[in-house]
Amino acid sequence: MKFAKLSIVGKLGIACCRRHIRILSIETKHRSEPVRAYENKGTHVHLEHARKPTAIKRIMAQTEQQKMQLIQDLEIEMMADMYNRLTSACHKKCIPPVYSDAEIAKGEAVCLDRCVAKFLDIHERIGKKLGQLSMQDEELLKKK
């Protein structure tokens, strides 16, 4: 499983890729707030972790060490989010809501293995495609 390299992007915050900006507020207490999306120069920007408008200013005011720690924390949070989505999707698909046995049956285990493999494969493909699109966007911006 590969994740896009995180980097600090201007005054926008932390980017997981060139198309998606993610910002984490240090003072965040609630992780279940809805996703907010904005348009920025034709690029769709997800501000999933921003809880306050001052989050951007706080990130930019931090030292390099604090920024690196914030980036690491954000990457861990993104990995945990992906794991939670994977677990939820594959559990709904492969495990019946009424358990007949305490252990996972062979058919359920096979279904889970396939589901996880497909989920991770699609996640990697989408990451590669977004990377290609962002490279094309960069090339177009350089030409202008």
DSSP states of 85-111: HHHHHHHHHHS-SS-SSSS--HHHHHH
Q: Which of 29-38, 54-63, 98-107, 132-141 has the lowest mean pLDDT?
A: 29-38
Residue ranges of domains in the chain, CATH in brackets: 57-96+104-142 (1.10.287.810)
**pLDDT of 99:** 87
Average pLDDT score over residue span 10-32: 38
Q: Is the pLDDT assigned to residue 85 strictly greater than 50?
A: yes
**What does the pLDDT look like over 53-64, one tens digit per residue?**
566 666 667 777
Categorise residue 6: left if φ over 0, alpha if ψ from -120 to 50, beta otherwise.
beta
Average pLDDT score over residue span 134-144: 88
Q: Is the pLDDT assigned to residue 131 strictly greater than 50?
A: yes
